[in-house]
Structure 1
Amino acid sequence: MRHSIPTCLLSCLAIASAIPVIAMAQIPAPAPAQSSAGAPASALHRPAPEATRVLDQASAEKLLRNTGLTLQWIDWNTRGSAVITRVGTPKGDEWRLRGAQAQAGGPGRLFLDGTITEIGKDYFTFKGLISIDSTPDKGRRCTKDKTWRFAITQNRPYYRLRDFEWCDDLTDYIDIHV
């Protein structure tokens, strides 16, 4: 059964929202260290969020209007969600990206969560987590938190992750459609 994009958007957002909660619920948070002034030490040394560098306004607008994301192992035709939010910081807007795609009737999942650090002509960099679970093979798990690069090449209608074999030598095509 095929789902429309709005149906998938709702179910994929529910999955994307649940994944970090499940993972964090299993890890007890350490007590924050206190400074001599009584404030948590982390609050004194945490840098302010950086603004996303927007070098090309047309590419930024294209990214904001995206129509979803796909991983070829899950489905080329039924897209998951790719939600971009802009959060004001003292240094300007920070662009955050959260996306998910779920295999209809199967265990396959794709999840992205992080910050877009730069948007240039037909590319953007993303600092955050990408996780692939149970696709193309049940039990396959690939999770990495780093800085990633997505780009539009050959006039294609999507930004494609440029790090193709980052997990286990299988080629993963993660695309954000525009």
Structure 2
Amino acid sequence: MKKLLLIVLFFGLQFLNAQSNFDEKLVGEHMISLQWISWDYFGKAMVTKTENPNEYTINGAQKSKENADYLKIDGTLKVTSLNELVFTGIIETSVSFINDGEACKRNGIFKFKAKGKRKYWRLNNINNPCDQVADYVDIYFKQ
């Protein structure tokens, strides 16, 4: 019985430590970007903790300084690891030379992954559903 209690306590502490790491890495303000708008200046997204374990909300935008182009993101993130997030919600983009300048909405469940030495999570499915282009939607690690 003592061994079982120690095992439960050990894994409980590991879970709490992992949760703390997720919270530290995610909660707060993040830069976001869509390459068609700019990699020189970024938008901002706020990530907040929900009541559910490993679940966060995200809401933000990047707006062009030159025209009406934009990226908007609004939904929830679930952490599968520090390198992979599962986003549920809406990603909306509008770029003047893509989809005849009309807004393009992605609504559903999408993965964001941080690979190698990247300091951001990138939308895994880069194919724009409204035109024949690749969209690099990135959520940057907090600084």
The alignment's TM-score, normalised by the length of structure 1, stands at: 0.61
Select the residue among 91, 107, 113 that pairs with 2:74.
113
Q: Tell me which residue corresponds to 1:140.
A: 102
Contact 2:61/2:73 (<8 A) preserved: yes
What residue identity is the alignment partner of 2:123?
Answer: L
Aligned CA distance change for structure 1 residues 144 and 67 (closer, same or farther; 3 Å): closer
CA distance in 1, matches of 2:107, 2:17: 24
What residue identity is the alignment partner of 2:90?
Answer: L
Q: Tell me which residue corresponds to 2:89.
A: 128
Q: Tell me which residue corresponds to 1:73.
A: 36
> Are 2:64 and 1:103 equivalent residues in the alignment?
yes
Alignment of 1:14-163 (within 5 A): 56-57=18-19, 58-64=21-27, 67-88=30-51, 91-92=52-53, 94-137=55-98, 139-163=101-125
Q: Tell me which residue corresponds to 2:11.
A: none
Contact 1:71/1:173 (<8 A) preserved: yes
Contact 1:123/1:149 (<8 A) preserved: yes
What residue identity is the alignment partner of 2:44?
Answer: S
Deviations 1:24-53 (A, max 9, x none): xxxxxxxxxxxxxxxxxxxxxxxxxxxxxx
What residue identity is the alignment partner of 2:62?
Answer: Q
Aligned residues: 123
- DSSP-derived class of the 1:61 partner: helix
Where in structure 1 are there 5+ consecutive unaligned residues?
1-53
| Greater Cα offset, 163-172 or 70-79 | 163-172
CA distance in 2, matches of 1:163, 1:68: 20
The alpha carbon displacement at 1:158 in A equals 0.7
> By percentage of residues, which structure has more strand?
2
The alpha carbon displacement at 1:144 in A equals 1.6
> Are 2:135 and 1:172 equivalent residues in the alignment?
yes
The alpha carbon displacement at 1:140 in A equals 3.5
CA distance in 2, matches of 1:154, 1:141: 32
Where in structure 2 are there 5+ consecutive unaligned residues?
1-15
CA distance in 2, matches of 1:66, 1:153: 21
Identity over the aligned pairs, expressed in percent?
A: 28
- DSSP-derived class of the 2:50 partner: strand
